[in-house]
């Protein structure tokens, strides 16, 4: 199974789907003559009424709950809607934990870049130097940087199948990162390193192994030491093979069509995520994700010049690129945001921020088709309402 291919990521949240329309527009050429000074920034607070409207109508067939935090120097707003679970129908916990999915990659990238800043790793050196024997002879040297920005050419690892039914049947079984990597390596390279960009979990699965090899500590220990603790992320953790979400949380559901054509909502809250670890197994809250963005963009976790890699999209020989180290560039109504989506069954999430932290967004939607091909309507409303600047 291709774990989190580019197509799947483009469907994970409205932010990322919008990027499918094409690359960022090139700036228009200025007419000859002196360049006008940029207009001063006028702080624009989030539109509270519009955000409340974006959350209306939950629960629905598309989403059971939504948790939203809009922040930054221009002002803040937070809200929630929907239910904690479909059985009791009680209100959703606005501070509930959820499976953050691929937002984990932001943490992983930060760890690697921090280790590089500390002189413990060189992102320009081949991963084969740090993990000898991991990749076969068919692989050319692949730099750590190429893992970070998804230009490695390593193919996706195998899982339990592509359809929901196959994966659900094995939701309590464990596949180790080493097994996933071995299945990917056995396929050989997809393309030469740096040739193009293909967003895949496998790159960050290997980065997790690299972190453990270089530091001698578990991924979770290093994430806590270098990212969670400095950012003040007290409600975030990495569950490993534990299928539960510890602490307060809202239930996640998957909409499934029965053979007779009727629909049921299957509770998918408990699920072993061990196979994706450094690529997507983090459990967090919207408050902690807001803290992550603020601390990271402020330079409190990764110092310059290494932080620059998180805001630098690589040039590739074929196709287009939009992913940096851990993030993705996204332009909306003339404003550049750096974003990351993340989805696991039952939960579709996202973070976004301007580089100067004028506007930040952290949200989680209890999407009933979080791994589907289409936009989740609730996520779409939230994202474009939160990022809209009058």
Q: What is the pTM of this model?
A: 0.91
Closest by CA position to 361, among listed 330, 323, 322: 330
Q: What is the pLDDT of residue 160?
A: 87
Q: What is the pLDDT of residue 116?
A: 98
Q: State the 10-residue block means of pLDDT for the chain, 390 residues long.
A: 40 41 31 47 86 97 98 97 98 98 98 98 98 96 98 95 92 96 97 98 98 98 98 98 98 95 96 96 98 98 97 96 98 96 97 98 97 88 91
Query: Contact 146/317 with Cβ under 8 angstroms?
Result: no
pLDDT in tens, 255-281: 999 999 999 999 999 999 999 999 999
Q: What is the pLDDT of residue 40?
A: 62
Q: What is the pLDDT of residue 356?
A: 97
- What residues have CB less than 8 Å from 335, skipping those under 6 apart? 354, 359, 387, 389
Closest by CA position to 4, among listed 254, 280, 274, 238: 280
Q: What is the pLDDT of residue 202?
A: 98
We find that the CATH architecture of domain 46-387 is 3-Layer(aba) Sandwich (3.40)
Q: How far is CA 341 from the centre of its chain?
A: 4
pLDDT in tens, 210-258: 999 999 999 999 999 999 999 999 999 999 999 999 999 999 999 999 9
Q: What is the pLDDT of residue 39?
A: 54
Helix (H) / strand (E) element for 292: namely helix 286-297
Q: What is the pLDDT of residue 13?
A: 40
Instruction: Return the domain boundaries, the chain.
Output: 46-387
Q: What is the pLDDT of residue 12?
A: 39
């Amino acid at each position: 199974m291709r774990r989190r291919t580019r197509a799947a990521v483009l469907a994970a949240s409205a932010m990322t789907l919008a990027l499918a329309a094409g690359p960022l527009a090139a700036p228009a050429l200025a007419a000859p003559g002196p360049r006008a000074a940029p207009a001063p920034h006028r702080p624009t607070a989030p539109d509270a009424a519009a955000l409340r409207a974006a959350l209306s109508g939950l629960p629905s067939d598309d989403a059971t709950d939504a948790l939203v935090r809009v922040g930054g120097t221009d002002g803040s707003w937070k809200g929630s809607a929907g239910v904690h679970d479909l059985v009791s129908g009680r209100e959703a916990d606005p501070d509930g934990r959820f499976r953050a999915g691929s937002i984990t990659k932001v943490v992983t990238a930060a760890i690697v870049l921090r280790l590089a800043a500390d002189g413990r790793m060189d992102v320009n050196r081949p991963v084969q130097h740090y993990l000898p024997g991991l990749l076969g002879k068919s692989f050319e040297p692949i730099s750590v940087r190429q893992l970070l920005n998804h230009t490695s050419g390593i193919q996706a690892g195998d899982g339990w199948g592509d359809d929901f039914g196959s994966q659900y049947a094995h939701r309590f079984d464990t596949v180790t990162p080493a097994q996933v990597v071995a299945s990917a390596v056995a396929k050989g390279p997809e393309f030469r390193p740096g040739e193009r960009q293909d967003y895949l979990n496998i790159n960050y699965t290997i980065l997790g192994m690299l972190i453990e090899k270089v530091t001698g500590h578990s991924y979770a220990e290093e994430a806590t030491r270098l990212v969670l603790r400095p950012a003040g992320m007290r409600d975030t953790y990495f569950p490993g093979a534990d299928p539960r979400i510890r602490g307060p949380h809202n239930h996640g559901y998957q909409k499934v069509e029965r053979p007779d054509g009727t629909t049921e909502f299957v509770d998918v809250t408990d699920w072993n995520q061990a196979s994706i670890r450094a690529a997507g197994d983090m459990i967090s809250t919207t408050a902690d994700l807001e803290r992550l963005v603020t601390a990271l963009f402020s330079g409190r976790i990764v110092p310059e010049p290494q932080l620059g890699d998180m805001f630098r999209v690589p040039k590739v020989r074929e196709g287009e690129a939009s992913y940096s180290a851990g993030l993705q560039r996204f332009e909306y109504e003339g404003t550049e945001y750096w974003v990351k989506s993340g989805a696991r069954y039952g939960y579709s999430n996202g973070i976004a921020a301007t580089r100067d932290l004028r506007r930040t967004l952290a949200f989680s939607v209890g999407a009933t088709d979080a791994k589907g091909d289409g936009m989740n309507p609730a996520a779409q409303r939230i994202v474009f309402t939160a990022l809209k600047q009058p």
